[in-house]
Amino acid sequence: MSPRQTGGTPVVNAKAPALVPAPAVTGEDALIESAERLRQELPKLDPKIRPDGWLEVSVPRESLGEVSRLLRDRLGYDYLLLLTGVDWKEKGFQIVLHLAGLARGERLVVTVDVPREDPRCPSVVSVWPTANWHERETWDLVGIRFEGHPDLRRILMKEGWEGHPLRKDYEDPRPPRDRFPKPQR
């Protein structure tokens, strides 16, 4: 059976869609073309093509703000899916963003390395407003400060909580307890 056409007919009303999303880019040639387009706009970056159809690129921390703006405005990556952080112990932290370009169907993963001694990263809230809560969660659980964030405070943990639970060196503050106590007679 052949793949279906995308877009779908408007079933609730007759106006034209505000934005017609394209199906996800698969296929070797289209991905190479996507990667080329990215390389042209951002020559310092070297995008890799992942086997699952996503492009992957590593961005240095200082240029994240500028690169984000170019990604959104010139390359059409207008849709931020998620932003999170990973604790790589001695190697530092890594911020990961998953982006999609709805009009062309492109998908991109951006990784930013953040040193452990200086856990700060520029915020991308001004580029993708949805990053607000994602960055708050990353600050709360991984402990990376996002500079330029309008309201960086804890979101999942209680206010006043100390420590960042998703870090690998986070110590459970609860007192040790007997996991298999004997029944009291």
CB 121 within 8 A of CB 127: no
Q: What are the backbone angles phi and psi of residue 116, rounded to the nearest 5°?
A: -70, -35
Q: Which of residues 27-46 bind another protein (CB under 8 A)?
A: none
Q: Please list, residue by residue across 98-112, b when 16 or more beta carbons sit within 10 angstroms of its beta carbon and e when fewer do.
A: ebbbeebbbbbbbeb
Q: Does residue number 7 form part of the binding site for another protein (CB under 8 A)?
A: yes
Q: How many CA atoms lie within 13 A of 185 on its CB side?
A: 0
Nearer to another protein, 160 or 183 (CB): 160
Selected range binding another protein among 27-35, 115-123, 152-160, 174-182, rule: CB under 8 A = 152-160
Which residue in the set 81, 113, 116, 143 belongs to the binding site for another protein (CB under 8 A)? 81
Nearest CA-CA partner of 123 in 109, 139, 100: 139
Q: Does residue number 48 form part of the binding site for another protein (CB under 8 A)?
A: no
One-letter amino acid at 69 equals: R
Do the strands 93-101 and 79-87 form a parallel or antiparallel pair, or are they unpaired? antiparallel
Q: Does residue number 126 form part of the binding site for another protein (CB under 8 A)?
A: no
Q: Does residue number 148 form part of the binding site for another protein (CB under 8 A)?
A: no
Instruction: Tell me the number of residues near another protein by CB under 8 A.
Output: 49
Interface residue list for another protein (CB under 8 A): 1, 3-4, 6-13, 15, 17-24, 52, 54, 78-82, 84, 86-87, 96, 98, 102, 105, 109, 128-130, 132-133, 137, 141, 154-158, 165-166
